[in-house]
Amino acid sequence: MEGGGGRSGVVVDIDAAVDDDGGSRTRPWVRVDAETGESEEMELSKQAVMRRMGVPARDLRALDPLLGYTASILARGYAIVCNLEQIRCIISSEEALVMRVQGDQGDDDAAARYADELKRRLAAGRHAAAGMPFELIAFGVALECISSVFKSETADIEIEAYPALDELAKKVSTLNLERARRLKSRLAALTKRVQRDVLRNQLLKFELLLGSAGFVVGMFGVVPGVFGMDFEGVTLYKVPHAFEETIGITGACSLLMFGCFMWYLKRRLFF
């Protein structure tokens, strides 16, 4: 910034630029390095995260706990954006950024546990995850963490439910009925939340299956296309039944390739 009497030499941090809320607010994040597994605390603005991870502003709004977005998994060109309630993170091939938010359900503790578990998995189990990209490892850890949260909440409901049902069986009263009603409401809400991290899994599996099938069909379509070009001087065109035999061999190879894809995905526990 320049004044009337000279230059003051003030340095402006571009990462603290005005965000969508009209301010220069930053959020705390935990960064986990893909190579070393080391984690560090960071303060980043929306603009800094967008440039760093290559995601649009609408994806960051999906992670904002104040906006009340439902659980979602967004696959982008260079990153995976995960809003799994307590676990809100952006995963790329080089790092994972986990948003730290102090909420009623202990979001901040869940983020810290996720970062610690991912660090431990990278440090101790790198040999077991050989050949699997960092994005899938980090995404799998996120699913495991949110699953453990659901299991813990289910156990808490069970601990309260059995005594409440016993009391209701002994004596039907307004107080016991109200306790049972509250437990039923909590269980219904938990079931609804779980049915969402299942529909998402089914959609991801279908996307993998459809992508694999599309790749195989595309490879199979190359052969008829080559035969349709009618190159001069190619003796294969003059061989009787050459086209039918080539199509048959290509089809068999395509089916074999698709089977290999399915075997690999099943081995990696995607199906």
Q: What is the pLDDT of residue 193?
A: 76
Q: Looking at per-residue confidence, does 107 or 105 come out higher?
A: 107
The answer on pLDDT for 46 being more than 80 is yes
pLDDT band at 224 (very low <50, low <70, confident <90, very high): confident
User: Sign (positive/negative) of CA torsion 104, 105, 107, 113?
Assistant: positive
Residue 19 in any domain: the answer is: no
Query: Which of the listed residues 114, 134, 152 is the one where a domain comes to its end?
Result: 152
The total domain count for the chain is: 2
Q: What is the pLDDT of residue 77?
A: 80
pLDDT band at 96 (very low <50, low <70, confident <90, very high): very high
Tokens coding 209:
């299956």
The answer on pLDDT for 158 being more than 60 is yes
> Minimum mean pLDDT among 107-111, 155-159, 177-181: which range?
107-111
Residue 222 in any domain: the answer is: yes
Distance CA 98, CA 223 (A): 46
Distance CA 86, CA 93 (A): 22
Strands (E), 24-143: 27-33, 39-44, 72-75, 80-84, 87-91, 95-99
Domain shared by 42 and 133, yes or no: yes
Note the pLDDT tens digit of each residue in 138-154.
888 888 888 888 888 88
Tokens coding 210:
């459809």
Residue 195 in any domain: the answer is: no
Q: What is the pLDDT of residue 10?
A: 37
Residue 11 in any domain: the answer is: no
Tokens coding 171:
């004596």
Q: Looking at per-residue confidence, does 124 or 59 come out higher?
A: 59
Residue 264 in any domain: the answer is: yes
Note down the domain range covering 240: 204-269
Q: What is the pLDDT of residue 237?
A: 67
Residue 175 in any domain: the answer is: no
Q: Which residues contact 150 (CB under 8 A, 6 or more apart)?
A: 190, 193, 194, 197
Query: Which of the listed residues 152, 167, 193 is the one where a domain comes to its end?
Result: 152
Query: Which of the listed residues 124, 152, 180 is the one where a domain comes to its end?
Result: 152
Strands (E), the chain: 2-3, 6-7, 27-33, 39-44, 72-75, 80-84, 87-91, 95-99
Residue 250 in any domain: the answer is: yes
Domain shared by 40 and 103, yes or no: yes
Residue 74 in any domain: the answer is: yes
**pLDDT over 90, % of the chain:** 3
Domain shared by 128 and 45, yes or no: yes
